Structures are given as structure tokens and as C-alpha cells.
Chains A and B, each alone.
Chain A
């Protein structure tokens, strides 16, 4: 039913054109249908005219006029496409320039804080909680920006991966350690399950860390305090699989197909968490697939969700 609806939606020219934010007479879909109509009408018209006036010069003239008319419409369609391409390019440039310029000061703040923290520690030996809070906020901005840049790079096929062999469980433990502050502040319980001996994986550790951060971040954001978040690692054939489960709000059934779309946020999250851009899962899934792995989830609304991803094992 849903698919049928989207199928018919493609014929709704008016809403399609509104999506592009361009006037109807410049909208490719509309012009295309208009051209089709003109072709049909002209063929019928030529047929009947040919029955009445048999002079070939006259018919040739009619065909010439129609061709000229179609040519003009075709020209307008190309113009509209150019306009769309231009606006999409400008949007991309805009994202790229803005995100890069924002990254510089954020990196500067990060490093200044690091220095300041060091200096303070030598004087006082005890850390001021202010640092942790400032650092956490700066990290939050930085993470948000990185997600936007990742999404942009994925879409423009500009992601560069540095795959290398490394220990997966060490990375997961490290990421959990880094999130400790937030976990403790909200009284979450984190449980970690992994077999004693795990193979190394072959992937880009920085990108794996990004995926892990998104999954943990979602688990923390969409779960009530005092609930449990469990992380498990296991081997599955040529892959290592990591799953993050929470006891949070879950994903409504009707949203399961859309959850990986860019900027999509499920209906029930707004009641729970207002902030968020809806790019984390899109980025995580794309990265996992790019590294030759897989990504998926299962969820029951109101009960919790499990998000998992797999990465190829390292083979000597």
C-alpha cells in the first residue's frame, strides 16, 4: 500500500515541483508532461489536417512549427535542470565551506582546553569539574559537525578510508571509557560481553569509532536513566559483529524502512529528545557498508532497540 502511494506520488507534478522550489513553468516534470501532450495533440492534428489539405508544403510547415515549439520546451527543460544542478552544487559548497570554517575554531578550543587543563593540574593537582563540562560541550559541537561533514563526504563520494588490522575489543573498551562521564551522569549501567579471544579486524579504526559513538550516543539519548545498555562482540564467519542494545523508546514499526534516510527522525523521538539532526544512523550504516561490513537493527517500540554492525576479520 505504502509503495503504491509513493508510485502515484511520482505523478503528482505539482507537489514534485514544490519540492524543488521552482515555478511550475520551469519544473522539469511539468514541462515533460506538457511536451508529451503537445506531441500527442500535434500528431492527431496533423492527421486530420492531412485529410483536408493534401499539399505537402502545408504539412511540412505545420511539422516545422511544431518541431520549433518542442525545441523551445526542450531547451527550457535543460535550463531547469541546470538551475537544479547549480543550486545543489551551491548547497554542497556551502556545507563544505561552513563546516570547514567551523572546525578550525572548535579544534582550537579543544587544544586550548587541553593545555589549560594540564596547567591547572600542575597547580592544583585536582581537576576542576568545569573542564570536563566545557570539554564535553565542545566535543558535542565537534561531533555534530563531524557528522554533517561525514554525511556530506559520503554523499559526494569523498570518504577516504584507512583500513588496517587492529583489536576490535580494545577499541570498544576505549570508547566506553570515553563515554563514562555521560554514562555516570545519567546513571546508566553499561555491560560488556566479549569472548576471551577475538580475531583482529581489518577496517578504519577512526570510522569504527564514529559508528560506535553514534550507537552509544543514541542508546544514551533515547533511554531512561538507570536503564541498561549492553554491548556485545562476537565472531560470525569472516566477520566480527558488534551489537549495542538499550532499554529505550524503540523505533515505531512504521518507521523501520525510513530509519536510515538522511535527516529522518522517528515520530516518537521528538517527545523524548528535541535536539538531533537525524544523520547518525545514515552515516554509521554507510560507513559500515563502505568498509565491507553490514549494519542493521531490531527494535520493539517502548521496549528497546539493538543496533549492530559487522566488519571483516583480518586475514594474514
Chain B
């Protein structure tokens, strides 16, 4: 049996978390958390294949988390997909500067499209953060 790829979902809206988690859990090993602090610990412990990250989060923001991940050698190559509703240029550019390659605005994507992008990212080994 093939080992399921591990995804950490950091999302503070329980409803969004459930629908995302539910949609992905059949194919991937899903770990979810609501806040930035727990997320940091979780990512360090699990070393997932992919992180789905919201930007506005309690305790530690997505930006802070990205900065932390970038400084740690064992975390800096984990691909991150930003999944947020922040659409301002300032926010997007800040995330891109922190090494993010995929920045999705929730309002513009169906679940199915998000899943497609997740799969593509996981299969494409060349996509490093």
C-alpha cells in the first residue's frame, strides 16, 4: 500500500476546516489546527509534504509562521499553499517575498479546484517553496 502524503491544514474557521479536511481525508493524511502556535509545533513534528496556510490566525499569523519555517533548514523546503481571503497587493507581495509560490483566494476557488492544485503541487517535485 502506498503511504498517504501528509498535509497540515492551518485554518481558523471551523466550517472551512471541516469541508477542506473532509474533502481531502480520503486521499491524504490530514492534520488540522486552528492557530499559528500549534501549527508551528505540528509542522515541526510531522514534517508534512504540504502545508495549507491561512494568513489571519490566532496567536501567530500565517506570515510569522512562514518566517519561522524559512529560517529552519528542515522546514524551509516544505511547499506552502496560501489559502486566504486577503487580496491586497501588500499582503500578496509579502507572502511571495517569504517564498510562497501558490497564493489562492478562497472566494475565487471551488473545493475541487483547490484539490487539483494541491495534487499538482504534491506531484511536482520541482516546486519547492
Residues from chain A with a CB closer than 8 A to the CB of B15 are 105, 108, 112
Q: Is residue A110 within 8 Å, beta carbon to beta carbon, of the partner chain?
A: yes
Q: Which residues of A contact B110 (CB under 8 A)?
A: 110-111, 114
Given A108-B16, A111-B19, A112-B15, are A160 and B87 also a contact pair (CB < 8 Å)? yes
CB of B111 within 8 A of CB of A114, answer yes
A142 within 8 Å of B by Cβ? yes
Across the interface, which residues of A come within 8 angstroms of B107, CB to CB? Answer: 103, 106-107, 110, 142, 145-146
The proximity string for A residues 103-144 relative to B, scoring 1 for CB distances below 8 Å and 0 otherwise, is: 111111011101100000000000000000000000000100
Q: Do residues A206 and B88 form an inter-chain contact, with CB atoms below 8 A?
A: no
Complex Cα gap A159–B93 (Å): 11
Nearest CB on A from B40, distance (A): 22
Q: Quick one: CB contact mask for A184-226 with B, threshold 8 Å, 1 for yes?
A: 0000000000000000000000100000000000000000000
* B92 within 8 Å of A (CB atoms): yes
Chain A proximity of B82: nearest CB distance (Å): 13
Question: For the complex, is B72 an interface residue (Cβ under 8 Å from A)?
Answer: no
Q: Is A158 an interface residue (CB 8 A)?
A: yes
Shortest A175–chain B CB gap in Å is 13
Q: Is the CB of A160 within 8 A of B89?
A: yes
Interface pair A158/B88, CB less than 8 Å apart: yes
* CB-based contact A115/B88 at 8 Å: no
B89 in complex: contacting residue of A100, A103, A104, A158, CB < 8 Å = A158
B40-93, CB < 8 A from A: 56, 85-90, 92-93
Contact A111 B16 (CB under 8 A): yes
* Interface members, chain A 131-190 (any B CB < 8 Å): 142, 145-146, 149, 153, 156-160
Known A-B contacts A107-B16, A112-B19; A153 and B85 likewise in contact (beta carbons under 8 Å): no
Give which listed residue, B19, B89, B90, contacts A108 with CB less than 8 A.
B19
Instruction: Indicate which residue in B19, B86, B89, B108 contacts A159 across the interface (CB closer than 8 Å).
Output: B89
List A contacts of B90 (CB < 8 A).
Answer: 158
Q: How far is the CA of A104 from the CA of B92 in the complex (A)?
A: 17
Q: Which of B22, B85, B89, B106 contacts A157 (CB 8 A)?
A: B89
The total of chain A residues at the interface (CB under 8 A) is 24
- CB of B16 within 8 A of CB of A149, answer no
Q: Contact mask B1-33 → A, CB, 8 Å, 1/0?
A: 000000000000101100110110000000000
A160 to B89, CA, bound (A): 5
CB distance from A241 to the nearest CB of B (A): 25
Q: 1/0 per position for B95-121, CB-CB distance to A under 8 A?
A: 000000000001110111000000000
Q: Are A100 and B22 in contact (CB under 8 A)?
A: no
A156 to B91, CA, bound (A): 13
Q: What's the minimum C-beta distance from B64 to chain A, rounded to whole angstroms? A: 18
Residue of A nearest to B96 (CB): A160
For the complex, give the distance between the alpha carbons of A293 and B104 in Å: 25
A104–B19 contact, CB under 8 A? no
CB neighbours (8 Å) of B108 from chain A are 206
> Which B residues are CB-close (under 8 A) to A115?
19, 22-23, 111
A146 to B108, CA, bound (A): 9
17 CB contacts below 8 A, A to B, read A103-B85, A104-B13, A104-B85, A108-B16, A108-B19, A110-B110, A111-B19, A112-B19, A114-B19, A114-B112, A153-B87, A153-B88, A157-B89, A158-B89, A159-B89, A160-B87, A160-B89
Give 16 new A-B contacts, CB below 8 A, not counting A104-B85, A111-B19, A149-B87: A104-B13, A106-B107, A107-B85, A108-B19, A111-B16, A111-B20, A111-B110, A112-B15, A145-B107, A146-B107, A153-B89, A156-B88, A158-B90, A159-B89, A160-B88, A160-B89
